[in-house]
Structure 1
Amino acid sequence: MGEPAYARPALLVLTVLAAVLYTWGIDHSQYHTFYANAVRSMTESWKAFFYGSFDPGNSITLDKLPGFLWPQALSARLLGFHPWALVLPQVFEGVASLLVLHRLVRRWAGVHAALIADTAFLVTPVAVGLFRTAVEDPAFTLCVLLAAEATQRAAASGRLRLLLPAGVWIGLGFQAKMLEAWAVLPALALVYGVSAPIALRKRLVHLGLAAVVTAAVSVSWMLAVTLAPAHDRPYVDGTTNNSAFSMVVGYNFLNRFSSLGVSAASTGSVSAVQGGGGGRGGAHPAPGAPQGAGRSGFSGARGGGRAGAARRAQHTGAPGGGSAGGAGFRAGGGFRAGGARGPGGWGGGGQDGWSKMFGTSLASQTGWLYPFAALALVCGLVWRRGAARTDRIRSGFLMWGIWLATYFLVFSAGSVGGHTYYMGVIAVPLAALTGAGTVLMWRAHRSGGRRAAALPCAVAATAVWSAYLAAQFPSFLPWLAPVVGVLGLAAVVLLVAARSGRAPLAGRLALAGLAASLAAVLLAPGAWAAQVFDPAYGSSGMGAVGPSGRADHARGAAGTAGGRLGRPGPMAGTTRDRTARAGGAAGFGGFGGFGADGTLTADQRRLLAYTTAHRGSAAYVFATTSWSGASPYILAAGAHVLPLGGFSGRVPFPTETRFRQLVASGALHYVLLGGGRDRGFGPGAGNTTTATARITDWVRTSCTPVPASAYGGTAAPAAGAVPGTPDAPDRGGETAALYRCGAGH
């Protein structure tokens, strides 16, 4: 194929390095505190596997499509249910994504562009953090890359049979990330519609057929759920009408654009109908985060947000940390996604509004290559404007440019919160444009003329931007900003000198300038990505690598202090510091995480043994008033615990009538209630009109409390009590209590 001898060994090195980055410390992985429950349930039965049931009893689904969890559930079935087994599929998806990106860029712009693109993708911090995190985006990223690869091949030949697989891959990406997968369609459709070497009518017919395939694969699971009798399947979380379409379109899509005035009130979305959390539907806690986590982050004390911001300032060098009104943590309300001015915060650095993509929280994970990719895109389109309609180079720049612009606008307009791993789909076109742009501008530089200035300008702009980003974190690698600046200056000087020098010196100067250019462009993101090897930083549960991980550690320490003082603390850390995790959970009065390894406390084990022994023929060992209350028992034992209210605590499942029927029929005998009036942990916490609130009141008045001495405990354990810490009262002022309901209670 005319490739240089070093091409395949270089690709092998990049592939091995990717595998090392993605697997480093995998034995210390943590469960995602919401998704892992579903994976455990999905290993218990194929029915739960298909529907993505949150609990082994198949009572309610996730509030997402389950496709992204199918590989995790299969891995757990084969290798056992361990945190690392749930992360392993994402590692394979990451390595596969790197290889598909290489094939895409090589076919488009050549092997050198492909190797540079792979390197750029590999050193982008969010790409490293993404494929170490058990969330939706790794599978989604791989699917859209495969769709782009299929479209590229189809556009080169104009063959329908090559285009239809792209529709299949987009449909599979939909199963992982829902409507976000369709955001790539404008890029793929325009490339085929513009550049395929066939008549316009045929191009449009082919695109129409591919759209049918895309839609059919995309809605296949939703149709299956819709056609199944409601009594034969679990309730669809996130909705008031038990509709998969409401969950996808209203709860997980329209709600995220409430800042634009978009309303999901007519879709059956629980967030839109019942209020609160508008625009943040479906956001989940990070791995190792407290079990009482709110919808778009983590519940805690209002003052804890200020404490967390102060500690972030110590590690990021942010002047004054975050604003008290920004990245704070609200009691019963969840994380405030935005407003904080500290660069390292979960929502700091302008993480809300149209400028969020340039805020330091996201840009430091994703956007180091913004200037270089932007100039490469402009050059690629302008310099090829006179080429034939079927020009391969121009069509490639068109595809990656529209891909980048579309997702950039979607994330700018929609709610992102602290979910850094969303940005993986941005890292892909940035890497591709960097690879192809380097080759394009290098050739222009060697040819001379006005276009020769493009490469030095791109390097200078990127070096300045990288130095600026690095300077926002002065206590993290303080040498990075000046080194990047020096490399950028050296690269520009060498490239300019090469144009004015004489051969063979000019050739050597140009090659030295190219090497310095690549170093100046890739050093800063590479330094951040390499922090996965440093346990003090590592990667966070939201896909961030670098100082954000250190900020998590600080928050965990703050939670420890809160626990010792007997008052609520900020979010528990997501690093591997078990003490910090335990302290953070205890800071929530026992409603935090139960330990990232899924172990139960002694009191929890005794309660589970008691309810199991007295369960009889009941379908459930007991019910709880939140998913977080059920989580420890599902993760540790696969227990059939009935969670009330879904993820938000406000889903009308089961209704009070249905709950009484379960009790009357003998399907349920025991209920574990948290004390006080706090119903659930979503935006509607404390809402006394929810079905869960009414059920709670009925249980308290109609059922018999079970004394803790009956199962050998001193008090009913709070849902998330941590080993080694006393069971603390919940936020309502009472300890959790077990009740016996039904005939003979």
Structure 2
Amino acid sequence: MATTVLDRTAPTGGAPRRAPWRSPVGRPAYARPALLVIAVLAAVLYAWGINHSHYHTFYANAVRSMTQSWQAFFYGSFDPGNSITLDKLPGFLWPQALSAQIFGFHPWALTLPQVMEGVASLLVLYRVVRRWAGDNAALIASVAFLLTPVAVGLFRTAVEDPLFTLCVLLAAEATQRAAEAGRLRPLVMAGVWVGVGFQSKMLEAWVVLPALAAVYLLSAPVPLRKRLVRLGISTAVMVAVSASWMVVAALTPAKDRPYVDGTTNNSAFSMVVGYNFLNRFSSLGISAASTGSISATRGGGGHGGGQEADRGGASHGVRAGAGHPSVPSHGGRPGGFGGGGDRGQDGWSKMFGPSLASQTGWLYPLAAVAVVCGLLWRRGRPRTDRIRAGFVLWGTWLTTYFLVFSAGSVGGHTYYMGVIAVPLAALAGGGLSLLWGAYRAGGRRGWVLPGAVAATVAWGAYLAAEFPSFLPWLVPAMGALALIAVVLLVLARPGGTRRGGRVALAGLGASLAAVLLAPGAWAVQVFNPTYGSSGMGTVGPTGTHRSGHGAAMSPGSGHLKDGFGDSSGQLTSEQRKLLAFATAHQGSAEYVFATNGWNGASPYILATGAHVLPLGGFSGQVPFPTAVRFRKLVEAGKVRYVLLGQTHGMAGMFGGGTGRGTTPATRITDWVRHACARVPASAYDGAQPPTTAPARASRAAQTLYRCGPGR
């Protein structure tokens, strides 16, 4: 009968201190050097070209604002005047803001923290898998994670998921230590790490809880009652850390903090629970309108509306808003739990569709086989069996996130899949180690390895064939390697001669090459400017597959398109002249000017940190400031100039606001056009009126108005 015990090597106590690049005594000599090579390669892939990167515009505006005051830093204010927050918790931007404080405000300075978080994530993954399944399994898992396209794209993108991924990995590592030793302290630390992950990605961090709880409950070597009590303590700590920012925001008077975007009632809890969670499941008939958030199923819904906004209105203004003509064709939005949009990536089958599976799902068959075999072959073992606990951890992790993403809306946000890449890589390493042990032991179980390799390569070939114009040699190469691997494994005769052992090792090497060739070929496209990573974490081609879903990425577009607008951080000549004029005539006004949309404010905040007041929130539906409140700001002299531009709006994805005057932002716009004096462009650019139609259209796209006394 085949044995399924994984190789587990542990360092011996009292070993002499060795050079950091050499493996500890009792572990394979190649383990530490190989890990260091993998980590260096990860740093190269994640950091390649970041000196030429662009801003992820929506978030970069907030980072710029956060570098100008500690209040803006804590609350994650979109604008330097602390008028309104981002529409999510600011924790993921804190490392970026600190980096910008240290190195200056540059695109690469905002990307650098994600690179560091990526390398750290890979090292933590190695540590967890090594303690579970041994050094060889950990090295395979690290390579698999390194060569997963979405991981490469994720850790070079200035979004929430890099820090979130690192936090849940650290939580898993702490839970593993708690389950092995039955100690409370590491279990409490697991709760802390989940809470920190919550500050980055909100309720998505809690999706990992079933996996962590299952491992501790099933395998910790302490009585059940003590396990339950300790889990309760860890949960309490996790909730406290998770809710800390929201509690502070709730206890701070509204006049002393920025308005919370995404809500009709200025509540952080509404933003987290309604706007960023329930909204993502609107396809299931769930509405967030009753939570006081902007609802995806009933635009501008919620209770209180403008009255709540006026009641909570500080002397500050507002924040960004009405969308941008450069919003990607999938209609997605930055961050949150999910995004609305791409019909091609909606539904329960989207995780198997080419757009998402090509970024993260190459190892689906191998992971599935690993979980099934790991649980079945370890049945009957003691409850504290570490090997089975590892399969429970990664299998539950993969299943829960898989189901949540399948039920929710993710749009074109491929970087969401980074948290799926983690268990897939771990199961690839632990699974291959398990199957290899069964293969070498002989018997019927030994044939699962070549079968799993064949199935995984066949699935990978199917995905690669969906992009026939991209690397056309890939499918034949995969097929050839798989054939060689299977033939060698068959010829090696499990349990046979020494020569057969060498052939089997060659078969294993060919298997690894066959399985990882396709994802690796996609991952290395970060070196290719045509297929480099985008602001949505995509690496390689999109929009060219046979099913036709997805948004095509043209050469060099990347962050420019998926970052929601011009991400160069430079003002045009006309914008510089407009800003200089408004600044020169600002007087005692609190804001240089107000504008009807976050995209209208974005260039000025990004380039200069100007105090620009944006209206309507990210969706354009946020009732702050109300029309009444805005007029009071004008009468008090806090706002003197208003820049109105063409706004395409994000209201469509929130289900309302299609008519004129249906939101506070549009009511303000109507009032400005009727009550304020239009400033001719010649007053600030000194140029002759444009003579061509495109130039006239460009100038007409934005109009400056002067409001208030003495206009």
TM-score (normalised: structure 2): 0.88
Q: Following superposition of structure 1 onto structure 2, how do residues 165-204 of structure 1 map, counting pairs within 5 Å? A: 165-204=189-228
Distance 2:61 2:232 in 1: 40
For residues 683-694 of structure 1, what are the structure 2 equivalents within 5 Å? 683=653, 684=656, 686-688=658-660, 689-694=662-667
Unaligned 5+ runs, structure 2: 1-10, 12-25, 303-319, 334-338
- Mapped partners of 2:130, 2:595: distance in 1: 54
1:267 to 291, 314, 325: 291
Q: Residue 118 of structure 1: SS of its match in structure 2? A: helix
Equivalent residues in 2 for 1:37-436, closer than 5 Å: 37-272=61-296, 274-275=298-299, 294=323, 299=327, 337-339=341-343, 348=344, 351-436=345-430
Q: Distance in 2 between matches of 1:646 and 1:44?
A: 21
Note the alpha carbon deviations across 1:161-217, whole angstroms, 9 max, x for none: 121000000000000000000000000011101111001000000000000000000
Separation of aligned partners in 1, 2:649 and 2:637 = 25
Match of 1:711 among 664, 684, 689: 684
Structural RMSD (CA): 2.9
For the residues of structure 2 that align with 1:173 and 1:742, how far apart are their CA atoms? 46
C-alpha deviation, 1:686, in angstroms: 4.0
Tell me the CA shift for residue 710 of structure 1: 1.5
Equivalent positions of 1:599-678 (< 5 A) are 599-674=570-645
Deviation, structure 1 residue 550:
8.6
Q: Distance in 2 between matches of 1:405 and 1:418?
A: 21
Matched to 1:118, the amino acid is S
Distance 1:592 1:194 in 2: 45
Q: 1:694 aligns to what SS in structure 2?
A: helix
Cα distance change of structure 1 residues 39 and 574 upon mapping to structure 2, 3 Å threshold: farther
- AA aligned opposite 2:489: L
Matching residue within 503, 506, 523 for 1:512: 506
Contact 1:716–1:737 (Cα < 8 Å) also in 2: no
Aligned counterparts of 1:742 and 1:715: Cα–Cα separation in 2: 28
SS of 2:517's equivalent in the other structure is helix
Q: Displacement of 1:113 after TM fit?
A: 0.5
Shift of 1:572: 10
- 1:744 match: 710
CA contact (8 A) 2:289 2:301 kept: no
Q: Secondary structure at the match of 1:642?
A: strand
Shift of 1:338: 3.4
Among candidates 686, 697, 700, match of residue 729 of structure 1: 697
- The 1:378–1:629 alpha-carbon spacing in structure 2 relative to 1, beyond 3 Å, is same
Kindly report which structure 2 residues correspond to 1:468-617, keeping only aligned pairs within 5 A, or say none.
468-499=462-493, 502-548=496-542, 575-576=555-556, 593-594=565-566, 596-617=567-588
Q: CA deviation at 1:715?
A: 9.1
Q: What CA distance in whole angstroms lies between the structure 1 residues aligned with 2:441 and 2:495?
A: 14
1:702 paired to 2:706:
no
Question: Given the superposition, is the C-alpha separation of residues 679 and 149 from structure 1 closer, same or farther in structure 2, using an over 3 Å criterion?
Answer: closer
Taking the aligned partners of 1:458 and 1:680, their CA distance within structure 2 comes to 45
> C-alpha displacement at 1:504, in angstroms?
2.1
Q: How has the CA–CA distance of structure 1 residues 537 and 678 changed in structure 2, closer, same or farther, with 3 Å as cutoff? A: closer
Question: Cα offset for 1:272?
Answer: 4.2
8 Å contact kept, 1:28–1:576: no
2:704 aligned counterpart, secondary structure = strand
What letter matches 2:632 in structure 1? Q
- Asked whether the 8 Å contact 1:649–1:682 carries over to 2, the reply is no
The AA in structure 1 aligned to 2:430 is A
Offset, 1:548: 2.4
How far apart in 2 are the matches of 1:336 and 1:216? 30
Distance 1:536 1:666, change over 3 A: same
Higher mean Cα deviation, 91-100 or 690-699? Answer: 690-699
Aligned to 1:312: none
1:672–1:739 CA contact under 8 A, matched in 2: yes
Quote the offset at 1:726 in angstroms. Answer: 5.8
User: Which residue of structure 2 aligns with residue 562 of structure 1?
Assistant: none
Q: Using the alignment, how far apart are the partners of 2:488 and 2:289 within structure 1? A: 60
Question: Where do 5+ consecutive residues of structure 1 fail to align?
Answer: 279-290, 306-326, 340-347, 556-569, 586-590, 718-723
Q: Is the 8 A contact 1:656 1:691 kept in 2?
A: yes
Cα distance change on mapping 1:572 and 1:477 into 2, 3 Å = closer
> In structure 2, what is the Cα distance between the partners aligned to 1:248 and 1:613?
40
Measured after TM superposition, the shift of residue 645 of structure 1 is 0.1
Q: Contact 1:171–1:215 at 8 Å: present in 2 too?
A: yes
Q: Residue 376 and residue 612 in structure 1: after superposition, are their counterparts in 2 closer, same or farther (change >3 A)?
A: same
CA distance, structure 1, for counterparts of residue 673 and residue 650 of structure 2: 16
Is the contact between residue 549 and residue 575 of structure 1 (CA under 8 Å) also seen in structure 2? no
Give the 3-state SS of the residue equivalent to 2:542 in structure 1.
helix
2: CA distance, partners of 1:292 / 1:220: 27
In the alignment, the residues of structure 1 paired with residue 490 and residue 266 of structure 2 have an alpha-carbon distance, to the nearest angstrom, of 65
Q: 1:704 to 1:328 in 2, by over 3 A?
A: closer
Number of residue pairs matched?
659
Asked if the contact 1:625/1:680 (under 8 Å) is kept, the reply is: no
Cα contact 2:321–2:614 (8 A) shared by 1: no
* Local SS of the residue matching 1:499: coil
Distance 1:592 1:61, change over 3 A: closer
CA contact (8 A) 1:626 1:680 kept: no
CA deviation after TM superposition for structure 1 residue 298, in Å: 5.1
Separation in 2, partners of 1:329, 1:137: 16
Amino acid at match of 1:729: A
| Whole-Å separation in 2 of the counterparts to 1:573 and 1:86 | 23
Contact 2:544 2:552 survives alignment (8 Å)? no
Deviates more, 1:256-265 or 1:628-637: 256-265
Q: CA distance change for structure 1 residues 38 and 71 in 2, over 3 Å: closer, same or farther?
A: same
Distance 1:22 1:277 in 2: 41
Amino acid at match of 1:338: D
Higher relative contact order (CA 8 A, sep 6+): 2
Deviations 1:671-710 (A, max 9, x none): 01125x9667654464321001111111111111111122
Structure 2 distance, partners of 1:515, 1:249, is: 47
- Give 1:593 deviation, angstroms: 3.5
**1:98-151 residue CA offsets vs partner (Å, 9 max, x unmatched):** 000000000010010000000000000000000010000000000000000000
CA distance in 1, matches of 2:369, 2:470: 29
Distance verdict in 2 for CA 1:353–1:659, change over 3 Å: same
The residue identity in structure 2 corresponding to 1:140 is: F
* CA shift in 2, pair 1:328/1:184, >3 Å: closer
TM-score in terms of structure 1 length: 0.84
Q: Residues 359 and 539 of structure 2 are in contact (CA less than 8 Å); yes or no, is this contact kept in structure 1?
A: yes
